[in-house]
Amino acid sequence: MHGKSGISFGVFLTLMLLFFNTTAQISPGDLSNPHSHLEGISNCTQCHVLGSKVASEKCLACHTEINLQKGYHSSTDVKGKQCFDCHNDHHGKNFQLIRLDVKTFNHNLTGFSLSIPHSKKECKDCHNAKSISDQKIKAKNYTYMGLNRECLSCHEDYHQKTLSSTCLNCHNPDAFKPATKFNHANAKFQLVGKHANVECLKCHKVDVKDGKRFQEFQGVAHTNCTNCHKDPHQNQFGQNCRQCHSEESFHAIKGKNFDHSKTNFNLVDKHLSVDCKSCHKTKLTDPIKHDRCTDCHTDYHNNQFVKNNISPDCSQCHSTKGFNLYTFTIEQHNIGPFPLLGAHAPVTCNQCHKKQEKWSFKDIGKNCKDCHTDYHNNQFSKNGVSPDCSQCHVVKGFNFVTYTIEQHNKSLFPLLGAHMATACNECHKKQEKWSFKDIGNNCKDCHTDIHQTYIPSKYYPNANCKICHNESQWEDVSFDHSKTNFKLTGAHLKRNCKECHFKKDVGGNEQQKFTGLPSNCSSCHTDNHFKQFEKNGITNCTECHSTDNWNDSKFDHNTAAFKLDGKHINVPCIKCHKPQQEGSQTYVKYKLKTFTCESCHS
């Protein structure tokens, strides 16, 4: 180097050193304000280790507040890193040694997971000097360290040291209220029944303590119900509420335990099973009327028994054993306007009093038809009005009829002759049901016309039986036989019709015959003469006999072949006309073949 160059180098170097104030200028940059006290060449090794950059041990030697065993510095995010990886320096006085992206920072890594309310807070709401107990850390301008995980390190103790400081035993980190983790079952007072639904405030009153709002949870008296509840009975039934009441409901009374006889209304029979609320509509101790049944019960009968504006008490007919078990007797009924007589006595009440859904006792009518249906279906109705059943029937029984023959004779069909002795049903119950109207006045309406095909209708027009018969005696026939071709005379007038008109057939059955009968005697009478007088196949009886008398013979022996004269006139007939045996029958032989004397005389 030339002399001039050497001089200029010396001058230049000096100027440069002065200009850059290099006494402490091997530093790569200013330290941040928190480390500003470490500025200067003599302090390099406070942090740096010769030959091996910056050692975390040196950092931790100063920063004793850093605990690598807990908190964020113990997390996987930090483990294995050197301090300067995150907390660098020599980047200017205002360099931020700690910079967290609070929006993306995973607070879980600190070992303290942020619950929902915590996550909505600003960092400084918790990370402030007020919440830091360590004085050394507290002295720092700003740090995320030094916070205690205990709730009370940040939060005010609402319970003012009356409860455990372990808030999370009862509270959920997500919300202070309600204390969802609190289990009242672990408390001295178990919440049973309705107590479980009672708002906490009802028992745990809010007050002011030390000038702050305070809710009492500790030391709440609970030995007696009246510690919290007001005694509505004003000690009428003693202090042991549980004798009657349960925690399930104040109003659900333990019926077994309450002695109702202590009251003015002793419960018996059905009343024993009635729910208290049925009568005690409001409070159990509120006075309730109980003189009349209708004080509790509604009048089922809707004042049907009111007389002079006064309704009799239900107990006159009913008892506490049951509404259906009534005490009203037949005797009581008989005092009333409709005594129960005859067949009415055994009739059950409902048959008359419960014709519809509801029982009815008033204005149900006294007439038979009010209860009974008209069996005769208005057959007796006249001008639209039916006579009352009692005109013919009695309460003794429907079949007991008071209708007389005399009454019947006033009808369109008086009962005469044999009709009087005829039972009613013969004419009025020809079918299943009794019938009284339009059953007909003609004989054939009731009687069968047995001659219908045997006697021509001209002899009894309109099948009028009365032309021959009468109501008194059926057999007493009054037919004018002269209307026929065979006028009855003599003994014929005395004969029964049947003798000529009814004959038994081969089978022995009686067969009537009124038409086509021959008028000769032999058609009815037997020829006792064994055809001795038959002429041309016909025997004319009337030549000798009349209808008046069979024996009164018109025979004149003188007109015969052998004229009687002399002694013959007085000779008995049998002397000449001897009986002859013909088979099993005998007859007198009138027709003699010879009239010689010796034929009769020996």
Partner 1 sequence: MSKIAHRIFISILVVIVIVTLITLLYKGISYYKVGIEERFYHPDHSLLKPSGILGHGMGIIGSLFMIIGVSIYMVRKRYRLLSRLGLLKYWLEFHIFLCTLGPILILFHTAFKFGGLVAISFWSMVAVFLSGVIGRFIYIQIPRSIEGRELSLNEVREMKSDVADIVKKSYNLDEESYSILADSIKKKVELYHKYAIVRYIRKYFDDRKTIKTVKASLKKNNLKKDEYKKILALVKNDIKLNRRIERLDTMQNLFKYWHVVHSPFALVMLIIMIIHVAVTIAFGYRWIF
Is residue 96 a contact point for partner 1 (CB under 8 A)? yes
Task: Decide whether 49 or 405 has the Cβ nearer to partner 1.
Answer: 49
Is position 508 an interface residue for partner 1 (rule: CB under 8 A)?
A: no
CB 160 within 8 A of CB 210: yes
List the interface residues with partner 1, window 367-386 (CB under 8 A).
none
Q: Which of 551, 557, 491 is nearest to 524 (CA)?
A: 491
Asked if 91 is part of the footprint of partner 1 (rule: CB under 8 A), the reply reads yes
Nearer to partner 1, 99 or 307 (CB): 99
Which residue matches tokens 């009975």? 233
Structure tokens given for 574: 């049998």
The token pair that represents 342 in the structure block? 């005859």
* Residue 94 found at the interface with partner 1 (CB under 8 A): yes
Report how far apart, in Å, the C-alpha atoms of 559 and of each of 530, 536, 545, 563 are: 21, 19, 15, 7
Q: What is the three-class DSSP state of 221?
A: coil
- Choose between 96 and 106: whose C-beta lies nearer to partner 1: 96
188 interacts with partner 1 by CB under 8 A = no
| Shortest distance in whole angstroms from residue 13 CB to partner 1 | 5
Q: Closest distance between partner 1 and the C-beta of residue 37, in Å? A: 19
Among 42, 64, 99, 337, binds partner 1 (CB under 8 A): 99
**44 scored as a contact of partner 1 (CB under 8 A):** yes
Contact call for residue 82 and partner 1 (CB under 8 A): no
Question: Closest distance between partner 1 and the C-beta of residue 23, in Å?
Answer: 9
Looking only at residues 5 through 34 of this chain, which bind partner 1 when binding is defined by CB under 8 A?
A: 5, 8-9, 12-13, 16-17, 20, 22, 25-30
Is 418 among the residues that bind partner 1 (CB under 8 A)? no
CB burial class (10 A; 0-12, 13-18, 19+) of residue 264?
A: exposed
- 43 part of the interface to partner 1, by CB under 8 A: no
Q: Which of 38, 43, 48, 514 touches partner 1 (CB under 8 A)? A: 48
**Of 78 and 252, CB closest to partner 1:** 78
Q: How far is the CB of 76 from partner 1 (least distance, A)?
A: 20
Q: Within 10 A of 596 (CB to CB), how many other CB atoms are there?
A: 8
Tell me whether residue 2 or residue 410 sits nearer to partner 1 (CB atom): 2
> Using CB under 8 A, which residues numbered 159 to 178 contact partner 1?
none
Q: Minimal distance in Å, beta carbon 128 to partner 1?
A: 24
Nearer to partner 1, 12 or 403 (CB): 12
Nearer to partner 1, 29 or 322 (CB): 29
Residue with tokens 């009518």: 365
Q: Which of 35, 83, 95, 460 is close enough to bind partner 1 by CB under 8 A?
A: 95
Closest CA to 495 of 459, 551, 553, 547: 547
Structure-token match 């067949």, residue found: 343
44 or 395, CB closer to partner 1? 44
Please state, in angstroms and as integers, the Cα–Cα distance from residue 566 to each residue in 569, 576, 598, 600, following that order: 6, 15, 17, 15
Q: Which stretch binds partner 1 (CB under 8 A): 48-56, 250-258, 380-388, 418-426?
A: 48-56
Is residue 278 within the footprint of partner 1 (CB under 8 A)?
no
Smallest gap from Cβ 18 to partner 1, in A, equals 10
Residue 346 contacts partner 1 per CB under 8 A: no
**CB-based contact 553:544 (threshold 8 Å):** yes
Instruction: Answer whether 89's CB lies under 8 Å from 99's CB.
Output: no
How many residues belong to the site for partner 1 (CB under 8 A)? 32
Give dist(CA 478, CA 470) in Å, integer.
8
3-state DSSP of 378-394: CCCCECCECCCHHHCEE
φ/ψ region of 43 (left if φ > 0, alpha if ψ in -120 to 50, else beta) reads alpha
Nearest to 247 by CA among 284, 203, 193: 193
Identify the burial level of 32 via C-beta atoms within 10 angstroms of its C-beta, where 0-12 means exposed, 13-18 middle and 19 or more buried: buried
C-beta of 91: minimal distance to partner 1 in Å? 5
Stretch that binds partner 1, among 46-54, 248-256, 286-294, 421-429 (CB under 8 A): 46-54
Does residue 51 interact with partner 1 by CB under 8 A?
yes
**For partner 1, the closer CB: 99 or 262:** 99
What DSSP string describes 223-281?
SSGGGTS--TTTTTT-S-GGGT--SS-SSS--TTT--GGGSSS---GGGGGS-HHHH--
Half-sphere exposure of 49 (CA within 13 A, CB side): 9
Cβ neighbours for 472, distance < 8 A, ≥ 6 positions apart: 416, 417, 418
- State which residue, 24 or 560, has the beta carbon closest to partner 1: 24
Residue 158 CA to residue 162 CA, distance in Å, equals 9
Residue placing its CB nearer to partner 1 in the complex, 40 or 456: 40
Report if residue 515 touches partner 1, rule: CB under 8 A. Answer: no
Q: Which of 67, 82, 88, 190 binds partner 1 (CB under 8 A)?
A: 88
Comparing CB distances to partner 1, the nearer of 9 and 595 is 9
Measured CA to CA in angstroms, residue 391 lies from 375, 397, 400 at distances of: 14, 13, 11
* Measured distance CA(388)–CA(393) in Å, rounded: 9
Site residues (CB under 8 A) for partner 1, limited to 530-559: none
Stretch that binds partner 1, among 87-95, 122-130, 287-295, 459-467 (CB under 8 A): 87-95
Q: Which of 37, 39, 40, 49 binds partner 1 (CB under 8 A)?
A: 49
Q: Summarize as ranges the residues that interact with partner 1 (CB under 8 A).
A: 1-2, 4-5, 8-9, 12-13, 16-17, 20, 22, 25-30, 44, 48-53, 88, 91-92, 94-96, 99
